Amino acid sequence: MFDAWAKRMVERINGSPVARRFAAFVIDYLLCGFVAMIPSIVAYSLLVGGTMTDLSGFVDAGCGVGLVTVLVLLSLAVSFCYHVIVPWRVWPGQTVGKRQNGLEVVMMDGSTASLATLAIRWATMTFVETLITVCASFVIQLVNIVCGPTVGTAYTVFGMVVSLFALSRVLWGKLRRPPHDVLAGTWVYTG
């Protein structure tokens, strides 16, 4: 049985339009994706020349898997800072997208999300759910380069299935909590 606070949270979550969460996602996707891609684009321009279409261009140009790995790790570090450090230290519970849409990530009891909690939430989103993001697609490209396209394709299909499940939880679930919020023990609500 939910306590009084949890009942109010469910009302606020279910009462806020899904469009606000989607708008926050789009803002965060574009902003974080753009910043996370800058190192790869600059490195490609300096080392290979031309316009980067994907990370395999580095390997095709003879730059090696090591450089691609460093660029993927750099992209993931930018994503981590954006989705974990910013809502932990800059705007508690908020990325730029959530701040612009009046949303906040909090713990189930209403307290501020911890660094570990935000990290669990980010890792679940990045490596399991939202494989359409720039950082996750860089990870998939690295998997394709190192392990071959069969493994990368299986990982992508798995991610799409989980992403659709997560979306269905946000759209039709009673608590509107996708797997990353369930695993991290958080809510996204209208602040």
Residue for token pair 């669990």: 120
Per DSSP, helices labelled H in 16-53 are 18-47
Phi, psi values for residue 138, rounded to 5°: -65, -40
Strand positions, DSSP E, 38-135: 103-107
Instruction: Mark the ranges of the chain whose per-residue pLDDT is less than 70.
Output: 1-17, 130-134, 168, 170-171, 173, 175, 191
Per-residue pLDDT at 1: 42
Per-residue pLDDT at 51: 82
Residue for token pair 């996602």: 25
Distance separating alpha carbons of residues 35 and 43, to the nearest angstrom: 14
At residue 59, the 3 state secondary structure works out as: helix
Per-residue pLDDT at 85: 97
Contact 126, 120 (CB under 8 A): no
What is the tens place of the pLDDT at every residue in 76-85? 899 999 999 9
Q: Name the residue ranges covered by the structural domains of the chain.
A: 15-184
